[in-house]
């Protein structure tokens, strides 16, 4: 280990210096042993020699002393060479009267992937051991350096900021480190490096800074999405590069704490496959299981809960490395209101992403609004009687749909926000204000089904609904076809859920339905049709229309055409929904297709995905319906107390917003709202981990240098190699001492030869 000998200098190998310095005594010992006494014998002729020796004794002793000192100095210089003394930049600054200092910044990755468990402990425990080793190392080697310790989950609130290390502060800091636990967030290095840059900018007296990053270095966090832009503001390392300039030197040392080849299987997301979730009606829910390992996973059992109740278990097939496997299930949620789902995999090395939550709104029914363009008081002569019966059949089994029928004059004054689906059946024309309301409804996620008939004005439809390729109508209406001999159904996209009833070879439904009248459709003029959603005023038609089902005949006229519009969907039926133009309503496939159309087009649930850990909960309220106070229950309730929340007004003053930012864990957060009518309303928000953090593929040193070629850094597998990287930014003096030792040894030999010649 390094030992600080003085504020200006230290030794890389202080033990060797101590041993070498003690070896300085060897020349002295040899000199003393050479002076051992001999037995004196008096001899008359020797008296002349003794007289001559007495005359030269002082010169000889001085020469011997000079040679002895040179030999001791040579031994000392050799000791200095092998112990490698050095001077830090702040040492030079102190020599020349400067007040600059050096800082050690220790950043530990506490993202949830660091909680991966191996037989000898978690990666985060390895990171904490390395962090404690760094703290002790700095204390013993550079006690004059300031120390800052940060976590990636909260870099704006350091564990320690610019402290000097002594016995007391070291023990206190180590206690804080030992108490650390991995967060449930994804590592945010861009935010961490920006915080470090701000910290350095606030301390201009820091001459040299060394940043130690302790992480598992996942590729998902460090691999650039495109070509490296090391010096661009979009790079997460941009603050580091900015922090290294003429007035300050910033050295980056990366310390690996993870292991390569770790296996992990996680649940990436939960989706509702069709329409809203209705109480008592089977809902198709799919969980996407991801194998983020380098090997094939075995089949796994997924436990599925509705609220606190376990309802079933699904088994996945084997999942290839790096692949996904959707697991579909049909769930019946018995009660309307807000509920949550929980899918959980068996435990593995990273248990946090084995469970995933989904908060869902369970509706009492799919609310359908039918706009009747040809009402009648006679039974089944009304335009929409058969359609209404198909959507809401009589009988003990609930179809899941509630239907409200209005005439075309009521459309403009009807609040569409409470409906999942609007069906316009044989309406003569729709005024522009009503069209704008329909556009807003569909763009926000609602569904629209258009049936034609003998009341329709095709010119008005093309002007207001098609609107030169920018409106709701998928294609412009052409000529009305009245056939002498009815045609039947032909081909279509039978994989589409709406018309899957017609799929299969020799399907009898294709030939059993006759269509006598229908509208032909024109094409979209390429000069008018938008190719980019930003090219249209609304920016809502981003995809071309698609034909779902065609009629037989030479021109294969479309019967059903779909168009995406904003977040919602529009389907146009070119014939009528009653028996006036076709006999479809007499066929069993009519009921099936109408139910599938309602299910497919209905507005999707809005809370099925939830938010990720660290993202704020934001809930907009209507002040006319809700009080501004609310109660929050965390996933730890009832062990944790309820939290009182107060809503604040929106910028326009027309609404209320509830906001909660401390979503630091997974689970279900409940918000209890007080309605103006005296009732309570519970809203649920599912908070999950970011599934990308569960990809444990590690970026090696070579990968990191390839990803960010302009970022200078040293890479360590552990803190044991700190002696080598500590050479960065210091001035080693062994070369100087080597030259001086050569001069001393040559001088000693030259003087010894000269002194010997002189006798």
At 76 the pLDDT is: 82
What pLDDT shows up at residue 236? 63
Rounded to 10 deg, the angle between the 46-83 and 25-34 helix axes is 170
Task: Give the mean model confidence (pLDDT) for residues 594-605.
Answer: 86
Q: Report d(CA 622, CA 170) in Å as an integer.
A: 54
Element (H, E) at 268: strand 265-272
Mean pLDDT of the chain: 84
Position 493 confidence tier, pLDDT thresholds 50, 70, 90? confident
Contacts of residue 513, Cβ cutoff 8 Å, sequence gap at least 6: 488, 489, 582, 583, 584, 587, 589
Say if residue 37's pLDDT is above 60: no
CB-CB neighbours of 242 under 10 Å: 16
For 74, the token pair is 């040579």
Q: What is the pLDDT of residue 723?
A: 59
Q: What are the pLDDT digits (tens) for 297-353?
A: 999 999 999 999 999 999 988 999 989 999 999 999 999 889 999 999 999 999 999
Q: Residue 242's pLDDT is what?
A: 54
Among 296-300, 358-362, 507-511, 533-537, the minimum mean pLDDT is found in 533-537
Which of 441-450, 600-609, 646-655 bottoms out in mean pLDDT, i.e. has the lowest?
600-609
- Rounded-to-integer distance, Cα 130 and Cα 108, Å: 9
Residue 487's Cβ-side half-sphere holds a number of Cα atoms within 13 Å equal to 19
The residues with which 218 forms a beta bridge, in sequence order, are 698
pLDDT for 407: 92
Give the pLDDT band (50/70/90) at residue 227: low
Report percent pLDDT > 90 for the chain: 47
For residue 461, give the DSSP letter. Answer: I
Q: Which residues pair with 451 in a beta bridge?
A: 425, 573
Alpha carbons 546 and 648: distance in angstroms, whole number: 45
DSSP assignment of 315-337: E---B-TT-EEEEEEEE---SSE
- pLDDT value of residue 2: 37
Residue with tokens 């229908």: 518
Q: How confident is the model at residue 94 (pLDDT cuts 50, 70, 90)?
A: very low
Torsion angle, alpha carbons of 657, 661, 663, 668, to 10: -10
Average pLDDT of the residues in 450-466: 95
| β pairing state of 656-660 and 648-649 | antiparallel
pLDDT value, residue 6: 37
Pairwise CA distance, residues 603 & 595, whole Å: 14
End-to-end distance of the chain based on CA atoms, in angstroms?
Answer: 49
Note the pLDDT of residue 48. 60
Position 5 scores a pLDDT of 37
**Residue 141 and residue 2 in contact, taking contact as beta carbons nearer than 8 Å:** yes
In angstroms, rounded to a whole number, what is the distance separating the alpha carbons of residues 546 and 183?
46
Q: List 210's β-bridge partners, or say none.
A: 104, 251
Please give the model's pTM, rounded to 2 decimal places: 0.75
Please, which pLDDT band fits residue 721 given cuts at 50, 70 and 90? Answer: low
Q: At what angle are helices 123-141 and 167-178 packed, to 10 degrees? A: 170
DSSP secondary structure letter of residue 462: I
b/e string for 10-43 if b means 16 or more Cβ within 10 A? bbbbbebbeebeeebeebeeeeeeeeeeeeeeee
Residue-level length of the chain: 759
Q: Are 631 and 642 in contact (CB under 8 A)?
A: yes
Cα(289)–Cα(356) distance, integer angstroms:
10
What would the two tokens of residue 662 be?
A: 């401390």
Has residue 703 got a pLDDT over 80?
Answer: yes
pLDDT (0 to 100) of residue 139? 87
Please, are residues 273 and 286 in contact by the beta-carbon 8 Å criterion? yes
pLDDT at 97: 47
Amino acid 230: pLDDT: 47
Q: What is the mean pLDDT of residues 569-592?
A: 94
* Contact between 540 and 517 (Cβ < 8 Å): no
Cβ-Cβ contacts under 8 Å for 54 (sequence gap 6 or more) = none
Q: What is the pLDDT of residue 294?
A: 85
**Cβ contacts of 569 within 8 Å, gap of 6 or more:** 442, 447, 448, 562, 563, 600, 601
pLDDT at 504: 73
Confidence of residue 528 (pLDDT cuts 50, 70, 90): very low
Tokens 């997301």 locate to: 269
Mean pLDDT of all residues in 401-421: 91
Residue 247 has what pLDDT? 65
CA distance 707 to 699: 9
Q: How confident is the model over 159-201, as pLDDT tens digits?
A: 999 898 899 999 999 999 999 999 999 998 889 998 998 888 8
What pLDDT score was predicted for residue 450? 97
**Burial per residue of 541-565, b for 16 or more beta-carbon CB atoms within 10 angstroms, e otherwise:** beeebebbbbbeeeeebbbbbbbbb
Q: Where are the alpha helices (DSSP H) in 214-291?
A: 219-222, 238-242
Q: Is 463 helix (H, G, I), strand (E, B) or coil?
A: helix
pLDDT of residue 536: 43
d(CA 463, CA 144): 79
Q: What is the per-residue pLDDT for 130?
A: 93
The pLDDT assigned to 529 comes to 40
Tokens of 391: 């959507």
pLDDT confidence of 30, banded at 50, 70, 90?
confident
Q: Which of 482-491, 578-587, 611-620, 726-735 has the lowest mean pLDDT?
A: 726-735
Confidence band of 11 (pLDDT split at 50, 70, 90):
low
Of 337, 335, 282, which Cα lies nearest the Cα of 312? 282
pLDDT reading at 534 higher than 90: no
* Full DSSP string of 636-686: TTTTSPPEEEE-EE-TTSS-EEEEE----S-EEEEEEEEETTS-EEEEEEE
Q: Is the pLDDT of residue 226 over 80?
A: no
Q: How confident is the model at residue 45 (pLDDT cuts 50, 70, 90)?
A: low
150-163 average pLDDT score: 93
The C-alpha atoms of residue 426 and residue 518 are separated, in whole angstroms, by 12
Alpha-helix runs per DSSP H in 502-549: 508-511
């Amino acid at each position: 280990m390094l030992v600080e000998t003085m504020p200006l200098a230290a030794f890389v190998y202080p033990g060797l210096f101590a041993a070498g310095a003690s070896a300085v005594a060897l020349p002295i010992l040899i000199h003393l042993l050479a002076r051992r006494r001999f037995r004196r014998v008096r001899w008359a002729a020797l008296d002349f020699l003794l007289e001559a020796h007495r005359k030269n004794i002082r010169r000889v002793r001085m020469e011997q002393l000079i040679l002895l000192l040179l030999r001791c100095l040579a031994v000392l210089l050799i000791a200095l060479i092998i112990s490698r003394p050095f001077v830090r930049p702040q040492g030079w600054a102190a020599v020349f009267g400067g007040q600059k200092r050096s800082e050690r910044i220790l950043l530990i990755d506490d993202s949830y992937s660091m909680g991966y468990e191996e037989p000898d402990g978690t990666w985060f425990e390895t990171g904490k051991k390395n962090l404690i080793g760094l703290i002790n190392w700095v204390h013993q080697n550079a006690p004059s350096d300031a120390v800052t310790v940060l976590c990636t989950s909260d870099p704006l609130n350091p564990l320690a900021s610019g402290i000097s290390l002594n016995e007391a502060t070291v023990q206190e800091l180590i206690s804080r480190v030992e108490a650390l636990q991995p967060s449930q967030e994804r590592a945010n290095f861009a935010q961490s490096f920006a915080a470090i840059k701000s910290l350095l900018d606030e301390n201009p007296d820091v001459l040299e800074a060394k940043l130690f990053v302790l992480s598992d270095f996942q590729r998902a966090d460090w691999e650039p999405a495109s070509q490296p832009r090391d010096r661009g503001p979009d790079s997460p390392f941009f603050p580091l590069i900015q922090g290294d300039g003429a007035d300050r030197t910033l050295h980056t040392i990366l310390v690996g704490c993870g292991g390569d080849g770790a296996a992990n299987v996680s649940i990436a997301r939960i989706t509702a496959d069709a329409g809203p979730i209705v109480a008592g009606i089977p809902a198709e829910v799919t969980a996407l299981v991801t194998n983020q390992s380098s090997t094939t996973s075995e089949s796994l059992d997924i436990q599925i809960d509705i609220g606190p109740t376990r309802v079933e278990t699904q088994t996945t097939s084997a999942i290839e490395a790096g692949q996904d496997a959707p697991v579909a299930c049909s769930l019946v949620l018995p009660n309307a209101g807000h509920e949550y789902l929980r899918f959980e995999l068996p435990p593995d090395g990273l248990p946090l992403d084995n469970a995933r939550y989904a908060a869902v709104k369970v509706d009492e029914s799919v609310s359908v609004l039918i706009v009747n363009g040809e009402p009648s008081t006679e039974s089944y002569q009304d335009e929409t009687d058969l359609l209404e019966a198909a959507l809401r059949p009589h009988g003990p089994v609930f179809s899941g749909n509630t239907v409200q029928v209005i005439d075309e004059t009521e459309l403009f004054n009807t609040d569409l926000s409470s409906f999942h689906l609007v069906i316009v059946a044989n309406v003569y024309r729709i005024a522009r204000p009503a069209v704008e309301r329909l556009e807003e409804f569909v763009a926000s996620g609602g569904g629209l089904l258009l049936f034609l008939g003998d009341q329709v004005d095709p010119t008005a439809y093309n002007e207001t609904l098609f609107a030169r390729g920018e409106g709701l109508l998928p294609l412009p209406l052409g000529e009305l076809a009245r056939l002498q001999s009815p045609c039947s159904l032909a081909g279509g996209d039978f994989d589409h859920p709406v018309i899957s009833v017609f799929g299969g070879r020799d399907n009898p439904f294709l030939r059993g339905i006759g269509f006598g009248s229908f509208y032909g459709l024109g094409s979209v003029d390429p000069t008018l049709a938008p190719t980019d959603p930003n090219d249209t005023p609304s920016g809502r038609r981003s995809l071309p229309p698609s034909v779902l089902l065609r009629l037989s005949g030479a021109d294969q006229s479309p019967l059903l055409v779909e168009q995406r519009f904003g977040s919602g969907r529009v389907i146009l039926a070119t014939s009528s929904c009653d028996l006036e133009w076709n006999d479809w309503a007499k066929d069993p496939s009519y009921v099936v297709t109408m139910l599938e159309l309602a299910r497919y087009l209905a507005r999707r649930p809005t809370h099925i995905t939830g938010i990720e850990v660290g993202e704020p909960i934001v809930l907009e309220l209507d002040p006319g319906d809700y009080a501004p106070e609310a109660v929050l229950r965390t996933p730890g309730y009832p062990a944790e107390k309820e939290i009182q929340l107060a809503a604040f007004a929106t910028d326009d003053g027309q609404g209320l917003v509830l906001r909660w930012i401390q979503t630091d864990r997974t689970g279900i957060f409940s918000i209890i709202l007080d309605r103006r009518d005296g009732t309570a309303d519970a809203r649920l928000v599912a908070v999950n981990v970011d599934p990308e953090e569960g990809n444990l593929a590690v970026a090696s040193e070579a990968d990191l240098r390839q990803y960010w070629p302009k970022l200078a850094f040293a890479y360590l597998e552990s803190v044991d190699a700190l002696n080598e990287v500590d050479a960065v930014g210091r001035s080693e003096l062994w070369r100087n001492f080597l030259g001086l030792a050569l001069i001393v040894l040559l001088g000693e030999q030259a003087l010894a030869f000269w002194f010997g010649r002189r006798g």
